[in-house]
Structure 1
Amino acid sequence: MSAAIPKATTTPARAISGCRRNRPVKAIRAATQRPTHKTVNMIGGIPQRCRGRDTGWRALCQYLLPPNAGSDLLCPATKTSWGPVRRRLFLALPAIATLPPPAAARPSEGFVRIEGRRFVAPDGTTLLLKGINLGNWLMPEGYMFKFERAKAPRQIEGAIERLVGPAAAARFWRTFRDNYIAEDDLRFIATVGFNMVRIPLHYRHFVTATTPPRFEGEGYALLDRVIGWARAHGLRVVLDIHAAPGGQTGINHDDGPGYPLMFYVPAHRRLTIELWRHIAARYRDDPTILGYDLLNEPIAPYHDVAYLNGKLEPFYREATAAIRSVDPHRIIFLGGGQWSSSFDMLGRPFAPNLAYTFHSFWASTRRDSIQRHLDFSYRYDVPLFLGETGELTDDWNESFRTLQERHGIGWSFWTYKNLDTPSTVVSIPRPADWDAIVAIADRPPARWGDPLPLPRERIDAALARYLEGTRFANGTIRWSYIASLGLKPAL
């Protein structure tokens, strides 16, 4: 049976002529639709002794199907009995049969999808994610400048502005974003064997500070450019909101006030969801985008944990619905609470194409360090993704990476480029006078007005050398780090 299922209710349909008890029944789509599934009633006609009497009609069973399913179905075998009565039907109805929604109800050309615990490439093979984070590019973090007090993006930006003034600071950041991640970087990432990048985003690059806010900003053009380079070099991209309106963690790297207000303030929550809807609409037809990581490291382990944990899955459900309203086939990554270390507050998957991401730094390289995540994965038959890890030795990198791979877990190490460190892919050279820059940036507010320890021209020169050092051509490639990830040790 290959005809499309007509739209109809469960009211009587056409009768089946003849006297064949095992005749297949026709599937008819119910009028009501659910947000992510439709109910399909199986309608069957059972002839009553085939003596010319009218045929009775009843719904024999129901299936829950993704809204794009369109093929006919057969009911399971149903025991029936009838007697010499008119317009009546006696049958033992089976229980409602529920088909789990397949991840690729309508697979689209070129898109990665989820099947059980696997990421599945467009050609049907299992895809093991091997990625690197593009940290610090659109989401600066103080330690990657060697700052200790100026940790959050707004603090780093304030420090640069105090050093050189607003106009020069604006030029600094434009050059920084142009240099830090360029096509040479994406080409190299692909050449050594990574197959994806994870891009942390700060919402302020995509939303204005006006009332009401508008979805505008330099972030869109910057992101379009990098996604284009990724596409050209065969890389997939995961987009990650690292800093949501109001903050989702309560620590410096969400650039909030030190408390996860996104979960408390309805306006922040709505804006975060609408930003995801806007991003999803922009990239809905681009299979380069592997998926959306809805919140980076939500809910610190020391802020109103019991209350906030109960808010995480409802947020994920609403954000997922918003994304799927404009982009139905994208993978969505759900991070656990307590800095993406625990899935205890999350239940069974509520939609197709969901993956679950955790972060782990400096952990044991034995299975017990990830056992609770494996338990969750097997319990619900969902894939895991190690979204951030690293910042340790090459030996640890290799051991922890191979632990993940033995259990089918893809990974994305932190981070691609950093200042003067062996624990990265490309190390930025530390410029002369950088210690003085750090000392100025880390001054407490009471000392912001103190005279600068360097003349302005030396400050300008130090910042200019730093910016030149962020170019791929001027960095130091850490080949041993790359080898520890099982990638090509040399070009």
Structure 2
Amino acid sequence: MVITSTQTLTTTIEPGSSTTPTLQTIPANPPCTLLRVSGTDIVNASGDKVILKGAGLGGMLNMENFITGYSGHEREHRAALTAVLGQEKADFFFSRLLHHFFTEADSAFFASLGLNCLRVPFNYRHFMDDDNPDVIKDEGFALLDRIVGLCAKHNIYVVLDLHTVPGGQNQDWHSDSGLSRAQFWEFRDFQNRAIQLWVAIAAHYAGNPYIAGYNPLNEPADPKHTRLIDWYGRVEKAIRAVDPDHILFVDGNTYAMDFSHFPVDHTLPNTVYACHDYSFMGFPGGEQYAGTSEHKERLRASFERKVRFMRGAGVPVWNGEFGPVYADPRAASKSGESAEAINARRFALLQEQLALYREAGGVSWSIWLYKDIGYQGLVYVDPDSPYMRLIQPFVQKKLRLGLDFWGCVDKEGVADVYGPFIKKLKEMIPEHIQKKKYPHIWTFDRQVERESYGKLFEGKTEAELEELAASFRFDNCVRRSHLNEILRRDAACPRLLGS
């Protein structure tokens, strides 16, 4: 698929969707130039304001459980398959998975929606071995260069997002630390290694017009707050020494939601400050978005709280992650409500958020996420694909046992075991209920929640592994048509405004 001056797209309808197929002609993205910060705007080389609109390529260079189906962290995922396949065949599978996950067909489709920026999360382990951290591996650059090159063909900017660092910058699974403790903040050596990596990356991409900028640390969570501010100052100076031109996209603390300790009168130069604007009303299990005035005001208040710092400092806003989770039209709802009805509310919430960003003067955004096994992706692996047929029983077991926070509606399947266990813990340590542990937004239950997937791959031949990996190839995936149409309509709003 090649884009010239325009791109024509025929939408593929996902199963269970009531959306009517459409034929749309989308203007091609204009040529990329080096971007910079000018006051509250991101501007191109001509001084025109650029609004970045796109998605995160999660699950590729940093694998996550709800994206690929494995129930742990990436290093555990790789270790589990290596244990049953051996190193050579496991390496083959993962290399083919990375190859198929994002190809030129994906890049062309992305551009066809009018999207102009891809956020690329990556794991530090592609560049560094923990037992030899001073050596920066060329393999990491080969992986990033391939993605940047595919995006360049369609004038798509790339934000490079360091999603995991040595020791883990937050307490959650996606920092790939294997712990529920952010040790990155406790060891200076971990912090120095991350800076060392950024210097290498910045030197490699200095002057590259397809790089929108660098996102130095995804969703940091420093309980003391001050160590994060110090680290940002250090990494900014180190990057500027080798690349003075590219923008930094700096996440707030506590999962990019808290800027309370950031100095308003001392912002970093040529830096965009990034919040993440998820709404619990778009997730299973809690209060659901109903489009009421109260719900709309709650969305607005939440967003305005997160960007209060940017408003006061007079700097640009980038919403680096947001987006609901969607119900599977093939799965029965315990409430008896159809997936179509559930998803209609989720789409309405998304549209309200996008309207808020437009009204706020054109906030740049990156929805989470581009591709997965069916929870959130613009495209997702076909439920009838070889990969999904293999892992679906395992995924369903995860849901029944309440082990998948992102997609789990409730824990009814294990309520007789899990409920009394949590109840007893609360009785034994009531002080932990009264005084919440950091991150404070997590409930007591989630602080606690922290059959082998690998066995499913035992005995697979290379031909079978190739077929499984190819399930992630664009042509073998389903496009979430209603979501893509919403994003396409928003992207049709100006992305480039003359100065």
* TM-score normalised according to structure 1 size: 0.70
Structure 1 CA distance, aligned partners of 2:148 and 2:204? 12
Structure 1 CA distance, aligned partners of 2:457 and 2:162? 37
Change (3 A) 1:409 1:428: same
Identify the residue that residue 358 of structure 1 maps to in structure 2. Answer: 275
Give the conservation status (yes or no) of the 8 Å contact 1:483–1:489.
no
Query: What SS is found at the alignment partner of 1:193?
Result: coil
Give the conservation status (yes or no) of the 8 Å contact 2:80–2:454.
no
Query: What SS is found at the alignment partner of 2:122?
Result: strand
For residues 431-453 of structure 1, give each alpha carbon's deviation from its aligned partner in whole angstroms, at most 9, with x where no partner exists.
32323555899999xx66x9958
Q: Which amino acid aligns with 1:361?
A: Y
- 1:186 CA displacement: 1.1
Structure 2 CA distance, aligned partners of 1:480 and 1:429? 16
Give the conservation status (yes or no) of the 8 Å contact 2:148–2:158.
yes
For residues 414-471 of structure 1, give each alpha carbon's deviation from its aligned partner in whole angstroms, at most 9, with x where no partner exists.
11011134x3211111332323555899999xx66x99589735x9887544312101
Structure 1 CA distance, aligned partners of 2:454 and 2:367? 40
Identify the residue that residue 44 of structure 2 maps to in structure 1. Answer: 121
The higher relative CO (CA closer than 8 Å, separation ≥ 6) is in 2
Q: Please list, as runs of the form range in 1=range in 2, the aligned pairs for 1:239-388 lying within 5 A after superposition.
A: 239-256=160-177, 257-299=179-221, 305=223, 307=224, 309-348=225-264, 349-362=266-279, 365=296, 366-388=299-321
Give the conservation status (yes or no) of the 8 Å contact 1:208–1:217.
no
Give the conservation status (yes or no) of the 8 Å contact 1:244–1:254.
yes
- 1:341 CA displacement: 0.7
For residues 88-145 of structure 1, give each alpha carbon's deviation from its aligned partner in whole angstroms, at most 9, with x where no partner exists.
xxxxxxxxxxxxxxxxxxxxx9211111111112222211110111110100001112
Indicate which of 105, 117, 122 corresponds to 1:196: 117
Q: Please list, as runs of the form range in 1=range in 2, the aligned pairs for 1:152-231 lying within 5 A after superposition.
A: 152-211=73-132, 213-231=134-152
2:370 equivalent to 1:413:
no
Give the conservation status (yes or no) of the 8 Å contact 1:129–1:195.
yes
Give the conservation status (yes or no) of the 8 Å contact 2:59–2:68.
no
Coordinate RMSD, CA, aligned: 2.8
2:56 equivalent to 1:139:
no
Structure 2 CA distance, aligned partners of 1:171 and 1:337? 37
Change (3 A) 1:374 1:452: closer
Q: Please list, as runs of the form range in 1=range in 2, the aligned pairs for 1:83-122 lying within 5 A after superposition.
A: 110-122=33-45
For residues 174-198 of structure 1, give each alpha carbon's deviation from its aligned partner in whole angstroms, at most 9, with x where no partner exists.
0011110112111211121101000
Give the conservation status (yes or no) of the 8 Å contact 2:207–2:245.
no
Structure 2 CA distance, aligned partners of 1:219 and 1:451? 25
2:459 equivalent to 1:456:
yes
Identify the residue that residue 357 of structure 2 maps to in structure 1. Answer: 404
- Aligned-residue sequence identity (percent) comes to 29
Change (3 A) 1:336 1:173: same
Q: Which amino acid aligns with 1:472?
A: F
Q: Please, which runs of 5 or more residues in structure 1 have no aligned partner?
A: 1-108
Kindly indicate which of the two structures has a greater share of residues assigned to helix.
2
Structure 2 CA distance, aligned partners of 1:186 and 1:144? 19
Q: Which amino acid aligns with 2:363?
A: I
Give the conservation status (yes or no) of the 8 Å contact 1:199–1:238.
yes
Q: Which amino acid aligns with 1:329?
A: D
Q: Please, which runs of 5 or more residues in structure 2 have no aligned partner?
A: 1-31, 281-294, 326-345, 404-450, 493-499
Give the conservation status (yes or no) of the 8 Å contact 2:354–2:490.
no
Query: What SS is found at the alignment partner of 1:248?
Result: coil
Identify the residue that residue 466 of structure 1 maps to in structure 2. Answer: 468
For residues 150-196 of structure 1, give each alpha carbon's deviation from its aligned partner in whole angstroms, at most 9, with x where no partner exists.
22111222232234332211111000111101121112111211010
Give the conservation status (yes or no) of the 8 Å contact 1:312–1:345.
no
Q: Which has the larger radius of gyration?
A: 1
- 1:239 CA displacement: 0.5
Query: What SS is found at the alignment partner of 1:433?
Result: helix
Moved more, 319-328 or 201-210: 201-210
Indicate which of 412, 431, 435 corresponds to 2:392: 435
* TM-score normalised according to structure 2 size: 0.69
Indicate which of 476, 479, 483 corresponds to 1:477: 479
Change (3 A) 1:120 1:135: same
